[in-house]
Amino acid sequence: MNYFTSYSLIASLIGVGAFLFLFSFFYMVVLGLLCIVQFASSITLVAINDEQKHEILNRSWVGASNVSRVEVEHAFDCCGFDQNTTDSVNSVAGCSDLPCCKDLYLTTEEQCFLHPENASAPNVTMVGCEPCKAKIEEQ
């Protein structure tokens, strides 16, 4: 008895099955690699202490372009990286356009820094924009 009369139908079913098998195998390999990469990165992030984290952020800020720095400042509403040594090496630009600085009617970039001398009211101790380092580390 011959149950199958169409060899083209059998060949196409075998071809589709082989394609699905290869596709699923490739998919599983990619998922396995992504799982390994994600596990390795999570272990790395857990192993980084605060000092190393600050060093990585500092190097990233120094290596970033002025456009990238201004975008970060506008996204987090902050001025400069740490308003200390990093910002004395790299010029700070765009802080006077930030809401935290415009609300205070401060005109120069350095006036936008968070300093006690910017405080005009007796009960206000610090006036100005916060450094971006603190806001980035919160994320």
Q: What would the pLDDT profile of 75-112 be if each residue is shown by its tens digit?
A: 888 888 877 666 655 656 667 777 777 766 655 666 67
Predicted structure pTM score: 0.57
Higher pLDDT, 14 or 1: 14
Q: Which residue has the tokens 């192993």?
A: 47
Could you tell me the CA-to-CA distances from 93 to 25, 81, 106, 113, 116 in Å, in that order?
A: 51, 11, 14, 12, 21
